[in-house]
Amino acid sequence: MGLVVALAAMAVVAYALWKWRKRMREREQAAQERMMAFMAQARPAPSTAPAAAAAPDPSLPQQKLLLDAATKAGEAGEPALSIQLYARLLARYPQTAFAEQARAAVQMQKLKLAKR
C-alpha cells in the first residue's frame, strides 16, 4: 500500500513538472513573438528610391498627426509620452520635414523630464 502511494505521489510530481515546463515554453514563445512584433514596429521602413522625391509625400498627414499628438502630450504635462511620440515620428520618417522641429522639441521635453 505504501509503495502504491509513493508511486502515485511521484507520478503527480512528474506530471506537475511536465505541465509547468510546457507552460514555460509557451510563455517564452509568446514573449519572443511579442518581441519580434515590437522590433518590426520599431524598425524604420526601408527607404524608397530617390526618383519618388518629386512626388508629394503621401505619408505627410500621418507625420503631422504624430507631431501634433506629441506636441499635445508635452503641453498636457506628459514629457515621457511626448518623447516617445517624437521618437516614433523620427523612426518611421527619418527624412521628414518635421525632423528638426521634432528633435528640438525632444530636447525641451528631456529638460522638463529632468526637472521632475
Per-residue pLDDT tens digits for 39-93 = 888 777 666 555 555 566 778 889 889 899 999 998 998 889 999 999 999 999 8
Which among 74, 100, 76, 94 has a CA at the least distance from the CA of 85? Answer: 74
Return the amino acid letter for 1: M
**pLDDT value at residue 26:** 95
Give me the residue spans of the domains in the chain: 1-42, 58-115
**pLDDT value at residue 49:** 54
